[in-house]
Amino acid sequence: FFCFTEMHGISFRIQISVKELLDTDVLLKLVFHLPVSYPSTLPDISVNSEQLTRAQCMDVKEKLLEQAKKHLSEPMVHDLILWVQQHLKDVIKQSAAVCNEKTTLSKGTEDGIWMLLLHLDHMRAKAKYVKTVEKWASSLRLTGRLMFMGKIILILLQGDRSSIKEYLILQKTSKVDVDSSGKKCKEKMMRVLCETEVQSQYKRFQAFEVKEYSAPEELQKEFETAGLKTLFSEFVSPLLK
């Protein structure tokens, strides 16, 4: 917890750990910029977390600003921090409505066909990595796409809930890539953007394919063709900005 003074007020940066669903810790990084006229004026707030999607961080920020309005003209930073610690779970649940999102933090049901969207930061040993992903998808009977668009790497999978879970374990625990010195290493920079039950409006992928796209429009068309327009706008669009 530290703060620094600026010409136009004070900024507080604070990092808090919140117990989430299934007792998983979510690390939230909050910045409160208090203008000179604070607390008669609302603070500027930014929210970041590696465990949450960008959309969820925006939802947390909006809810914090709603709470801040209730405390206008009185000191509020401490109250806002307490509020987010107590209500983070509810905010994430509400934010999940668009995708009916069940992130890896939530239990979900075991039945039905599920879909998983992953974002990878990089692939150093690309050929080997791609082959490994193809092998896992085949052995677990998962369909979908491994998508490359510029520096963006996405894996979209559909299949049994148990197979999706097993894939996630393999992805996190196997040495799939190499580090900067060429040694085999595990995937540490993967983010689960969305994990949800396949809805009736989604089209099922018939196979698992590796595809490269030269423009964002091509990537968007891939999602829209599969009936995944909302998934694209909610989770992929922010990565393109």
Domain shared by 123 and 26, yes or no = no
- State the greatest distance between any 2 C-alpha atoms of the chain, in Å, as a whole number: 61
Q: Phi and psi (nearest 5°) for 198?
A: -70, 120
Phi-psi sector, 108: left (phi>0), alpha (psi -120 to 50), beta: left
- Mean of pLDDT values over 5-33: 74
Q: Which among 216, 31, 209, 185 has a CA at the least distance from the CA of 121?
A: 185
Residue 188 has pLDDT above 90, yes or no: no
The residue among 98, 126, 154 that closes a domain is 98
Query: How many domains in the chain?
Result: 2
Looking at the domain assignment, is residue 40 inside a domain?
yes
The residue among 98, 129, 148 that closes a domain is 98
Residues 29/85, Cβ–Cβ less than 8 Å: no
Q: What residues contact 238, with CB distance under 8 A and at least 6 apart?
A: 54, 55
pLDDT tens-place string over residues 57-104: 888 999 999 999 999 888 898 899 999 988 888 887 765 544 444 444
Domain that residue 193 falls in = 113-239
The residue among 98, 132, 153 that closes a domain is 98
pLDDT tens-place string over residues 116-136: 999 998 898 899 999 999 999
Domain shared by 54 and 166, yes or no = no
Residues 157/115, Cβ–Cβ less than 8 Å: yes
Confidence (pLDDT) at 214: 94
Domain shared by 47 and 143, yes or no = no
